[in-house]
Homo-oligomer: A and B are copies of this chain.
Amino acid sequence: MPDDAPKKPSRIQLKNRKKILDAALEVFSSHGFRGATLDQIAEAAGLSKPNLLYYFDGKEDIHRTLLNGLLDVWLAPLKEMDPSGDPLEELMGYIHRKLEMSWEMPRESRLFAGEVIQGAPRMEADLQSGLKPLFDAKCDVIRGWADAGLLAPVNPAHLLMSIWAVTQHYADFEAQVGVLTGPAPRAEARAHVDKMFRSLLSP
């Protein structure tokens, strides 16, 4: 018999865990792990601090849960890239989906970025087990496309990293983008990114 009984969570547990994770996303993404305090998260969640710790084992637990759930969301667009589709349009579709995510989920992007910048101390395992295999698989797909002459010859790994760099930049460096461009850079960004990668990838 398994000694870790799953004990299906009650409605109230589901609701409060969700509230906590949402509050934690807000706070962690704008102050970093160390910069965030349980009091801040508790207040943002509308709960008391000891109440937080009734639902999670501690600050690290909240953070880890958040990052873990995030990785799936974050990689979903890449998973959708279809090896049997039209190469250029599959890649451009991925790029636009990723760019859209940066506008729609900047907190998630910054949480991720902050963690990686600091050496991913609480995420190394997830990167190895979650990100690496998918990354390698998609690199193979892209290499296949390029070898078949359906794309310009390109280094798949560095292509993917460039895509992440450019698209996530709009979320992660929002403070800088805001200072440097007008209030509505979204359409311009879309056009620019489209042109940049299309010119690189067109065979």
Residues of A within 8 A of B (CB): 30-35, 110, 113-114, 116-120, 124, 127-128, 131-132, 135, 152, 154-155, 157-159, 161-162, 164-166, 168-170, 172-177, 179-181, 185, 188-189, 191-193, 195-196, 199-200
Contact = CB atoms under 8 A, between A and B. Distances in A.
Contact of A175 (B30, B120, B196): B120
Greatest chain B CB density within 10 A among A159, A174, A176, A185 is at A176
A165 B99 CA distance: 13
Contacts of A195: 154, 200
Contact of A158 (B173, B175, B192): B192
Contact of A117 (B117, B152, B166): B117
Contacts of A188: 155, 157-158
A159 B189 CA distance: 9
Contact of A116 (B119, B173, B200): B173
A155 B118 contact: no
A180 B30 contact: no
Contacts of A32: 32, 34-35, 114, 118
Given A114-B114, A157-B180, A158-B192, 17 more contacts: A32-B32, A34-B35, A35-B118, A110-B117, A114-B118, A117-B117, A158-B181, A158-B188, A158-B193, A162-B169, A162-B193, A164-B173, A165-B165, A165-B166, A165-B169, A166-B166, A200-B200
A155 B118 CA distance: 32
B35 A155 contact: no
A179 B114 contact: no
A65 B131 CA distance: 37
A175 B154 CA distance: 23
A177 B134 CA distance: 14
B155 A180 contact: no
A99 to B, nearest CB: 12
